Chains A and B, each alone.
Chain A
Amino acid sequence: MKILISTFSNSESLKVAYKEIKPDKLILLTSKEFSNKAKAFKIKNKTIIINPFNVIDVLEKIIHSVNISKDEIIINITEGTNAMASGALSAAFYLGIKAIYISNNSIIEIPIPHIGYQCQLNKTSKELLLKLAKITECNQTITQTQIASGTIPQRLTSPIRILHKYGLISKAKEEGRNLIILTQSGRILAEMLIKGI
């Protein structure tokens, strides 16, 4: 199924994108202010309310609403605030999917390789990221000893190094203990893995 996800405020660019892409399903991301306009839009759509000034909110809501293994997803970032467009574009980079901008009634494709970030982690790094996401929440710290429970501590050295190098965890020391903190990018990637993306 071809799905067009579009940031929404005034519908002009959306008409062009819809006509060119001919999606099977339309998802509109919009603020409360424009939600009635989105619902009343002449093409049937699913409306998702987002905070127009929260990049992370837009990014996470897109990740939660797609199934890239089943559907072809295209994201239109033309309308709405720069924060909305940035959140939508970030989702496209994380997932490795197509993003477009409408200018002068024609489509400009944003150059994004179709390589999701999750593909670039090896099996052990993915397992560790999932484990971290399950036992902690963003910004909460956990000690390296706690992570190691049920496994040989030396086996964690390499995946911890990789996740740290990729900015998915940060490390700190407190009272002689090694602390691990899941970063926001780490949490988003973990959510993608939990979703099976």
Chain B
Amino acid sequence: MKIHIATMGNNTTHLFTALQEIGFDKVYLITGKRFLKNAEEVKEKLSIFPNIFIEIKTIDPFSSNCLSIIINYISEVKKNENSELLINITGGTNLMGAAALSAAYYTKSQAYYVLDKSFSTTDGSSPVVYIPIPKISLVDGLTTTQKDLMLQIEKKSSKKTIKSLKELADSMGWTIQRLKPHIHNLEEKGLVQTDKSLKEHSLKLTEAAITMLNNLK
């Protein structure tokens, strides 16, 4: 099954080029509200093909949470489809493309970029260029203890913030001395953020950690 997810703005040529080149069974389009009409036109054009599923997701392409909305959306599609995704990062703003590409790295999916025909037809090469994404899970870079610790931090706090290191150490049956080097290591990996301005250091998972855990489940 060929499932495409594509970010798109005003230009839709890259979509048709890729779908024609690769083939498709399902297409998920991510676009700004401003270009919803363009996405609906794409949907209408593609609906002439029998048994093709098309879904449109609208986002605010300049809001600060656009990034997490797109990454979470693609992660959810990946979980529900339980199949390899083909992520087209050509259209939309750089932030939309970056979010879609980040999701590809987290979900170990294939991502591609479609070249404008004027750049690709001279030597007869395909206009679809795949991004070299290793099939390495980012979580593999963590030890079992680090993974358990991140899951514990996530479990301990619904708002992803724990008020003190002691609270976390107690919940794991550890001493603070045992906990500290692990927290320091996760902090260096950009997965935990501690607030040292308070008497008791509070901590929370970073967006990177939350995204990693979402794709672990």
Contact = CB atoms under 8 A, between A and B. Distances in A.
Interface residues of A, number: 45
A117 B134 CA distance: 8
Contacts of B67: 101, 108, 110-111
B141 A115 contact: yes
B216 interface: no
Interface in A127-158: none
A93 B137 CA distance: 12
A83 B191 CA distance: 27
B83 to A, nearest CB: 17
A56 interface: yes
A184 interface: yes
Contacts, number: 116
Interface stretch (A14-22, A25-33, A42-50, A165-173): A165-173
A85 B98 contact: yes
Contact of A115 (B101, B131, B189, B206): B189
Given A80-B94, A120-B140, A166-B134, A111 B71 contact: yes
B102 A82 contact: no
A82 B90 contact: yes
17 contacts: A7-B94, A53-B119, A55-B131, A82-B94, A86-B98, A86-B111, A90-B101, A98-B190, A101-B95, A103-B62, A103-B64, A108-B95, A111-B71, A112-B208, A113-B138, A113-B212, A189-B134
Interface of B: 62-64, 67-68, 71, 89-92, 94-95, 97-98, 101-102, 105, 111, 113, 115-116, 119, 129, 131-136, 138, 140-142, 188-191, 206-212
